Amino acid sequence: MSDTSLIWKNATEIRDLLVKDEVTPLDLLDALEARVTEVEPKINALPTLCFERARDNAKALMEKPAGDRGLLMGMPVAIKDLEEVKGVRTTFGSPIFADHIPDKSDIVVETLEKNGGVVYAKANTPEFGAGGNTFNEVLGTTLNPWNQERSVAGSSGGSAAALASGTAWLAQGSDTGGSLRNPASFCSIVGMRPSPGRVARGPSGTPFANLPVAGPMARTVSDVALMLDAMVGEHPRDPISLARPSESFVDAVKAARLPKRVAFSRDLGCTPVDPEVAKICETAALKFESLGVKVEEAHPDFHDVQDIFQALRAEAFYMTKHKLLAEHRDKLKPEVVWNIEKALDYSIKDFTRVELARGAYIQRAVDFFETYDLLLSPATCVGPYPVEQRYVEQCDGHKFDNYVEWLTMAYAITLTTFPALSMPAGFTSEGLPVGLQVVGGPRGEAALLSAAALLEPEIGHAGAVPIDPI
């Protein structure tokens, strides 16, 4: 019989039990499988399971001395269905790959398994991660555990919903335009976008692309730090990958280093935001003042964010998906087709202009962080919206031009290359989660995590999950 009480503990507590040999990885898998059986029919967060593979890996790990079992010591990890796992169905949310079973794993998965992670499930995602709502024709729609009539956002929506509903302690996500941060916001968990290269990924056909990154998702900031430590490091097949820092991120959290000066912005000066969401985040941000940290209203100059991001996103879609469009157009959802074809609207002069503009954009952001240690804002412009909507079409009287513009709060930060996370900020009048985006300076994951961990108990919503789906 599984110990269902384990479900309610956070990842750091679970790892401590593993270190003390009070539970085994098999105990954890038993508890998760029981919880998945109970919860999954209600939310569809983890549509592909691989518990047999997980138990085989867990048994092999348990045969090693405790000191050789890696940082995670056999902790179960859910992997987003955009990353390949050897021998496990990986669909990318697309009918084109509905029956795809890879013969090798992504570097992200290899690294986690090398560091003692045990993969037991694939988390749902929209087709090729496109769009801020987690649905696809292969595996269906993921529903929000807080209200099953609402979206979990995307594209790491399955990972966020699993964490919120107790079918995961740790889950991997990825982020280009907010795919880690938006689901974290909608599900009241923590999702972190690291600096490009911090987590090695691929092998990729576009190895120098620095908009997409892989990162950790968990229920608390400390748990995210633990998982990030198990994900980082250089890899020869990822040419932009970074060396493991000398200080672990878990130790950075324990160091409890407060920022000296913090900026808060309701809208980053570039997008509409629902007034209730903005107010909730402002209240959460001002909790820093109870720790003696000054909070000022300010943000970098992001005036050309749309021009830059839309062009670079289109370019990326064309480079990676144009062959699929030529061969399988009828199997691609319209938003993906639009994003691929949008690249044809640009000339070489346009892309030159955009690349130069992004260079100036990053320098303005660096200048800003010479004054401020952190930038805080809403993680999303709205709270969880009706799940039947493909995307958010308008906010506070503004009609968005396309299916991703509502994600501007997140991708304005993506373009800086700076690390950012979404952490629970509070709840709307409907009882729906809202996330606070916390942004660190260049390659500033350690300071970001340390500060966020200090802010977390002041806000007071870290213990809101897991929940039983309504």
Is the distance from CB of 262 to CB of 290 less than 8 angstroms?
A: no
As a whole number of angstroms, the distance between CA 119 and CA 33 comes to 13
Is the distance from CB of 223 to CB of 170 less than 8 angstroms?
A: yes
Distances, alpha carbon 32 to alpha carbons 8, 19, 39, 353, 399, in Å: 11, 19, 10, 50, 42
Q: Which two tokens stand for residue 22?
A: 């009070």
As a whole number of angstroms, the distance between CA 274 and CA 434 comes to 11
Rounded-to-5 percentages of helix, strand, coil across the chain:
40, 15, 40
Distances, alpha carbon 375 to alpha carbons 219, 348, 421, in Å: 22, 34, 11
As a whole number of angstroms, the distance between CA 425 and CA 274 comes to 15
As a whole number of angstroms, the distance between CA 422 and CA 4 comes to 28
As a whole number of angstroms, the distance between CA 67 and CA 89 comes to 32
As a whole number of angstroms, the distance between CA 272 and CA 399 comes to 10
Is the distance from CB of 75 to CB of 40 less than 8 angstroms?
A: no
As a whole number of angstroms, the distance between CA 415 and CA 177 comes to 9
Is the distance from CB of 224 to CB of 192 less than 8 angstroms?
A: yes
Catalytic sites, residue numbers:
80, 155, 179
Other Cβ atoms closer than 10 A to 86: 16
Q: What is the DSSP string of 168-189?
A: -SSEEEEESSSTTHHHHHHHTS
Return the ∠ at Cα 271 (arms to 265 and 272), rounded to 5°: 90
Listed residue (117, 122, 150) closest to 138, CA to CA? 122
Distances, alpha carbon 9 to alpha carbons 4, 264, 456, in Å: 10, 32, 17
